[in-house]
A and B are shown apart, each in its own frame.
Chain A
Amino acid sequence: EADIYQTPRYLVIGTGKKITLECSQTMGHDKMYWYQQDPGMELHLIHYSYGVNSTEKGDLSSESTVSRIRTEHFPLTLESARPSHTSQYLCASSEGARGELFFGEGSRLTVL
């Protein structure tokens, strides 16, 4: 069982609201990632971090932002949610040069 946790699991909010998706891992992994996945589609990397105070944008452009102030915590924030942000957001962590990714259960966001 992976020790990586995401909250909330489900969120339904109105347009224009600010939201933060939380992700925490207790494995001490340096590398953390956010992927976005629409139903039946592939995962797309939107943010990653190789350590504290290190964040980079992924291949898929996203209006979200992330921060990495502590090793175990990698929250994702949307300042003003829109219906186009409706999706599943998956957080993951890894360790080592070819480490497997440990995924959280995901946060399913619906913006009305």
Chain B
Amino acid sequence: SQKIEQNSEALNIQEGKTATLTCNYTNYSPAYLQWYRQDPGRGPVFLLLIRENEKEKRKERLKVTFDTTLKQSLFHITASQPADSATYLCALPPEGAGSYQLTFGKGTKLSVIP
């Protein structure tokens, strides 16, 4: 099974700066990778999906990169705002086609300080 490591449990950043979160995986290279946001006591909310043949994906202030050689995805939030404070999770599918059960990392708790 896949092992996922997200760089740190908590990340504090000043408002306006770029937050960079890391997701490393150890076994097979997944066909795609997803990022979610989770607020305390709530269910995760999908943010972005990046496929193995895509180097970079953007959505508004969010940017995700996917390096299959390094077995790593980076998640960037530019011009961060206090409202971006949340836990961010990366998720990967299992190996092989026809299977949809995502494995989630523990997440990185981001705090954006005004």
Q: Which positions in A face B, CB cutoff 8 Å? A: 2, 31, 33, 35, 40-43, 45, 48, 50, 58-59, 90, 92, 94, 97-106, 108
Contact = CB atoms under 8 A, between A and B. Distances in A.
A59 B1 CA distance: 9
B101 A42 contact: no
A45 B101 contact: yes
Contacts of B102: 45, 101
Contacts of B34: 100-101
Interface residues of B, number: 26
Contacts of B103: 45, 59
B44 A58 contact: no
A104 B101 contact: no
Interface stretch (B13-21, B59-67, B73-81, B104-112): B104-112
A106 B42 CA distance: 6
19 contacts: A33-B101, A41-B106, A42-B105, A42-B106, A45-B101, A45-B103, A48-B100, A58-B101, A59-B1, A90-B43, A98-B31, A100-B46, A100-B49, A101-B34, A101-B91, A102-B46, A103-B45, A105-B43, A106-B43
Contacts of B44: 43, 90, 101, 103
Interface in B8-56: 9, 31-32, 34, 36, 41-46, 49, 51
Contact of B107 (A2, A42, A58, A103): A42
Nearest to A100: B46
Given A41-B106, A42-B107, A59-B1, A99 B43 contact: no
